[in-house]
Structures are given as structure tokens and as C-alpha cells.
Structure 1
Amino acid sequence: MTVESDELQHPSNDHTIWVFGSHVNDNELNQIQTMYELHETDIVHCKRTDTKRSRFIVHPHYVAFSLYYFTTPDIHIKPVRVDFILGEHFLLTLCSDHVLHIDAMVMRAKEEDILASGIELVLYYIVQGFIQSFAALVTQVIRNAEHVSDHLNQQTNLFLDIRETRHTAFTVLQLLAPQARIFNILGTDSFTYTSIQNKAYFIDLSDRTEELIDDLDTIRDNLLSNVEGYTSLQSNEMNRVMKILTVAATIFLPLNLIASIYGMNFKIPEYGWTYGYPYSLSLMAVVAGISILIIHRKGWF
């Protein structure tokens, strides 16, 4: 059993080969295609860096699929794609970037001779690290969502925070959902490229991925509820302001009427009266008091 990391070997039934490559260039990919008799479309896919979809294609002597992971639990970090080609006696791990925890995985494979238990077990341990990166990101998204919920009444940029968090949750869901289906396929009894004793590992990965998907669905629903709650609070605040303005307008409306009457350019009897000015002010005060009393009894404030 061998782990090949520097030089390519032809696949054979005598030993199991695991080849990994980070920052793989086009010439190396072409060499891999020739040596392992890979379909041209799989190599073209490996060369592309703009694809953001997991794929799973079954060929006569191997399967090709793509998985994603995040380097750090930071919602601004872009996902990294890793292409896997799994055959009966070989596993190719190809990536245009540095593969997460791959160095530690190489040492573990050499020391524990993991390949003796099946090439798919190497795949399991690699993907296990991917799931851990997703779990760390989901934990960060949960914290952000809880922060939004706890400060619902204080947030001035709530919609911006909710939009960013929901966008992150949606992006992770887009990556996790197809990967859960891939893990489920790898763990089915009809899949021939994983041994019976190792299928349970991929069912475990599928279950863990589904748990993360459920958590993200819950987060998105809670964030939507937060939006509705925040909108309700804003509406209540607006209603309170409008209520105050309406009460003030109701009180001052009759006062404006009185002031407009005494402000007309006509001869009014009160103009020649010594107490005319105090009378008009007292009239306004009485009318305002009556208006306030009526509004208070109606429960407007």
C-alpha cells in the first residue's frame, strides 16, 4: 500500500494509490488524465475555477465529484473547491488551492496505513475536515443570528445584518445540500466503489451534513421572523408618532380657528373691550382643556 504525493503511479490491482495535488497546473492535469484514463470533461472541470456547484458523475471505472470547504469560520471567506476522482484502487484529490489539513492527513495515512482499510477511508477523513469547517461556519452564523435577535430593539442596521447573515446561510445551504446527497450515494449498498465495512462512515457524514442543513433552515426562518418583528416594531413606533401628532393637531385645531377668527380684518366687538385679549387667551385655554379631557377619556393617550 502506498501514498503517492510527489510522483504519479499507474493504477493497478496490486496496491492502492492516493494522489493529491494542490495548485495543480494544466500540464499536470493532462498527465493525470492520460495515466488514469479520465474523461476529458472531468479534467476541464478541474481546470475551471468559476464553478460553484457540487457534481457527481459515474464513469465505467471511477466516479468524479466535487466538494467544498471553508478555510476559516469567516462569513467573508469564499469556499474552496476540491475535486475527487475515486476508483477501485485509487483516489485523486485535486485542488487549485491548498487543501485543508492535507499535510496532517498524509502523515496519518503513512503512520496508520489507513489505505489498508480501503481507499475510501482516506476520502472519509479528508471530507470529515470539510464538514468541521462547515460546522464552524454554521456556528458563527448562529452567533450572528442570536446577536440580531438579542438586539432587535437596538439595531439601527438590522436589515443589513440580517441580509448578510441570510445570504451566508443560503450560500452554505447551496453547498451543503448537494454534498449531503453525494455522501448518501457513497454510503448506499449499491455503490460499488466503497467497501461494505466503510459505508457507515459516509452515512455518518450524510447525517452530520443534514443536521447542519436543518440548523441553517432554522436560522433562516428565525431571521425572517426577526425581520417581521423589526418591521412590526417600526410600525408601532410610527403609529405612536402619528398618534402624538394627531393628538397635537386635534388640540391646536380649535385654537387655530379662534386665532384665525380674531385675526380677520373686520371690526370685532372684543377689539374695543379692555379684557378682550385675556378673554381670547382664556377661551383658547378652556377649549384646549376640553379637547385634552375628551381625548383622555377616549383613551388616545
Structure 2
Amino acid sequence: MRKIKYKKGRRLQQFNLEYTGIHKRTDSEMQLFVYDQFHITEYQQLNFSDLENSIDVQKTNWINVHGLNDLDLIKNMGRFFKVEDYMLADILNTNRRTKIEEQHDLLFFNIKSLLPAGDSETISAEQISFLIKEGVLISFQEKRSDFFTHIRDRLRAQSGIIRTKKADFLLYVLLDAIMENFYITIENEEDKIDELINLTKSNAGPIVLERIEQHRDNFNFLKRAITPLRDSLYDIKSMKDDNVFNAIEEDNFSFFARLHQKSLELLEQIESDMSSLHSASDFYFSAQNHNMNEIMKTLTVVSAIFIPLTFIVGVYGMNFEFMPELKYEYGYYTVIGGMALIVLGMLYYFKKRNWF
């Protein structure tokens, strides 16, 4: 799992523009959708030099950047849209926590998108950042992915109300798509928790405990990603009462309130799943203690049986010359028979008391 080390990440200067993610070899590409209710124009692999002539201020413009390695492209877009350098630094620094920030007519938002990493027990993370300004929404992704494929298809097919809304509604739709990845990740973790609970009932090996701790780390990682997202979405809700930032239409604040409610549901589900993991861990240790108790019970029964036998053997193993039983013709058989009766009697007593 690529953990986001919010506190221990490599420290960068506030205005230092340097990509800190793992997708160092991903080439930067720019895609543009210009649309309204009646028309849509799509530009693939758009050059920055053609950006100004391609944007239509009378329509909604969605610029999607794949790959963050082209620093010149990032700087040029920052100058073109009048974005402060510290915001550009936050886009490039993937160690940042999820945050929202408004500046005059510009809204900055970044978020961690999490998905299961294939068939492994880990979670993959990608930082996605958004800038919204005057009918233009810019999204920055570390690599090309299919998070927003269905949204592009909805734009092309004019499905739903997305083409009738502005850039703020598009931001809501994109955030909602990313949050769906959280549900997918949590559901995948829950399936593995059920598997672990079944394993603890049949196999108490240490590998089970290792997997429990791995998934506990995964849920903590999810919680660390969703908690600041919850706070940021609450901040968007609060903008409705500020009457300062107007890039989000009043009618659309309810959509962001839904996202805030989703974040609360996600955190509640994580807490519930972590309780299930805690129960699985407790069951593991209970099973270990039960097995140990069974072993100690067996050893105790065996020891209790051999204590009187050892005593008899010890008595007749003494080297005294005058012991009457030593001259008895059937002494050996009598002692063996007595020892057998003692064993059978003790076994009957232990069984009657349900000691084994």
C-alpha cells in the first residue's frame, strides 16, 4: 500500500513545484470538454498553446490533465488561470491531506482516490485535484485511469441533467464518482474480513493474525483519507451562508450536502468494520487460549494418572532388604493389577467430572 505520510513525508518548500508521486514516467496529457445543453466539443491531447482559443466562456469547460510530470504545463496553466504557486505545489505534492481552499473567484479541492490493489491485501492511492473558476473546471490526475469514463459517456450522450448544469455540478459528479471508489474498497475489505472470520474458526495460525493487522492498517488508511474529506465537504456546505464565493450555485449546495452525508456513512461503516476486525482478533486469541487450555488439561490428566503409579514404583524401588512383598510369589502381578485399577478408577472419575 502506498501510504500517504501526511506528517513524515519529505518536506518541500511551500512554493516549490515538484511532483512527489510514484508515477514519474507518466507523460502529461490535456483533454478538454466544452459543452452546454445543446452542443459538446471534445479535444483530445490538447496543447497548451491552443487552450485559450478552445475555451468558450459562454459554456462549461472541463479540462482534465493526466500526468503531473510536465512542470512547464502546470506552471503555464497556473499563470493562465491566475492560480497561486502554493496551490500548484499542493497539486504536485501527493503527501498533502485532502483540503479545500477558496481564493477570490477560485476554489481549490484535492482528494485521495483509493481502490483495492488487484488481488493483493493492499490499497492503491491516487491524488486528484480540482480547480474551479468562472465556468471552468480543471482536474489533475496522476495517471490515466477510468474513474471518470462513465461521466464522459454521460456528457457525450447528454444523459441526465449534467449538460444543463454548470461547472460546480460537474465537480459534484466527479467527487461522487471518486467516493464510489471508497464504497468499492470498503466492500472489498468487508469480503476479506468475512474470510478472515471463517479462517479464525478453522485455523488459528499466526498468518491469520498478520492478515487481521494488515486489514486494520487498511481501514486506518481509509479513515485518514475520508476524515479530512468529510471536513472539506462540510466547508463547502458552509459556503452557502458566507455569500462570498459564488462559483457554486445556491441550488447545487444540496448535492454537496449529500456527499457530506456519504462521508459520514463511510466513516460509520469503517468503525463498524474495525469492530468486526477487533472481534476477529479477540476470537483468534480466545481460540489460542482454548487450544492451550485443552493441551494443559490433557497434560494435567496424564500427570495425575502417573503420580500414584510413580509413587508405587518409587516405594518398591527402594533398596531395603526386608520388604515382605518382595518374597510374595504373586507380588508382581498384584502390584500391576493394583496399578491398572488405579488408572481405570481415575479415568472413570475424570470422565464423570467432564475433565476430558
Q: TM-score normalised by the shorter chain: which range applies?
A: 0.7 to 0.9
Matched, 1:2 2:45: no
Work out whether residues 115 and 184 of structure 2, in 8 Å CA contact, stay in contact via their aligned partners in 1.
no
Matched, 1:123 2:171: yes
Larger strand proportion, structure 1 or 2? 2
CA distance in 1, matches of 2:217, 2:249: 38
Partner of 1:76: 122
Show structure 1 runs of 5+ residues with no match: none
Map 1:106-185 to 2 at 5 A: 106=152, 108-109=154-155, 112=158, 114=162, 116-155=164-203, 156=205, 157-185=207-235
Partner of 1:85: 131
Larger helix proportion, structure 1 or 2? 1
Deviation at 1:39, TM superposition (A): 1.5
Deviation at 1:26, TM superposition (A): 0.8
Map 1:1-301 to 2 at 5 A: 2=34, 6=46, 7=48, 8-9=51-52, 14-24=58-68, 25-49=70-94, 51=95, 53-70=97-114, 74=118, 75-106=121-152, 108-109=154-155, 112=158, 114=162, 116-155=164-203, 156=205, 157-188=207-238, 189-190=240-241, 192=245, 193-267=247-321, 268-296=323-351, 298-301=353-356
Deviation at 1:71, TM superposition (A): 5.0
Deviation at 1:180, TM superposition (A): 2.3
Q: Relative to 1, partners in 2 of residues 1:226 and 1:16: Cα closer, same or farther, differing over 3 Å?
A: same
Work out whether residues 128 and 205 of structure 1, in 8 Å CA contact, stay in contact via their aligned partners in 2.
yes
Instruction: Report the more deviating stretch, 98-107 or 273-282.
Output: 98-107
Question: Secondary structure at the residue paired with 1:79?
Answer: strand
CA distance in 2, matches of 1:52, 1:79: 12
Instruction: Report the more deviating stretch, 224-233 or 101-110.
Output: 101-110
Query: Quick one: which amino acid aligns to residue 143 of structure 2?
Result: D
Q: Relative to 1, partners in 2 of residues 1:104 and 1:294: Cα closer, same or farther, differing over 3 Å?
A: closer
Show structure 2 runs of 5+ residues with no match: 1-32, 36-41
Aligned residue pair count: 300
Q: Relative to 1, partners in 2 of residues 1:141 and 1:294: Cα closer, same or farther, differing over 3 Å?
A: same
Q: Relative to 1, partners in 2 of residues 1:55 and 1:247: Cα closer, same or farther, differing over 3 Å?
A: same
CA RMSD, aligned part only? 2.7
Query: Quick one: which amino acid aligns to residue 267 of structure 2?
Result: I
Query: Quick one: which amino acid aligns to residue 213 of structure 1?
Result: L
Deviation at 1:255, TM superposition (A): 0.3
Work out whether residues 86 and 92 of structure 1, in 8 Å CA contact, stay in contact via their aligned partners in 2.
yes
Instruction: Report the more deviating stretch, 173-182 or 14-23.
Output: 14-23
TM-score of the superposed pair, with normalisation by structure 2: 0.75
Q: Relative to 1, partners in 2 of residues 1:169 and 1:153: Cα closer, same or farther, differing over 3 Å?
A: same
Deviation at 1:130, TM superposition (A): 0.9
Query: Quick one: which amino acid aligns to residue 283 of structure 1?
Result: G
Query: Quick one: which amino acid aligns to residue 227 of structure 2?
Result: A
Query: Quick one: which amino acid aligns to residue 34 of structure 2?
Result: T
Question: Secondary structure at the residue paired with 1:152?
Answer: helix
Work out whether residues 187 and 201 of structure 1, in 8 Å CA contact, stay in contact via their aligned partners in 2.
no
| TM-superposition CA deviations, 1:165-220 (whole Å, max 9, x none) | 22222211211222122223323423633111111221122222322222121111
CA distance in 2, matches of 1:218, 1:73: 22
Q: Relative to 1, partners in 2 of residues 1:281 and 1:107: Cα closer, same or farther, differing over 3 Å?
A: closer
Deviation at 1:138, TM superposition (A): 1.2
Q: Relative to 1, partners in 2 of residues 1:240 and 1:71: Cα closer, same or farther, differing over 3 Å?
A: closer
Work out whether residues 100 and 129 of structure 1, in 8 Å CA contact, stay in contact via their aligned partners in 2.
no
CA distance in 1, matches of 2:189, 2:52: 43
Work out whether residues 90 and 96 of structure 2, in 8 Å CA contact, stay in contact via their aligned partners in 1.
no
Question: Secondary structure at the residue paired with 2:329?
Answer: coil
CA distance in 1, matches of 2:220, 2:67: 28
Deviation at 1:13, TM superposition (A): 6.3
TM-score of the superposed pair, with normalisation by structure 1: 0.87
Instruction: Report the more deviating stretch, 246-255 or 173-182.
Output: 173-182
Query: Quick one: which amino acid aligns to residue 79 of structure 2?
Result: T
Work out whether residues 147 and 178 of structure 2, in 8 Å CA contact, stay in contact via their aligned partners in 1.
no
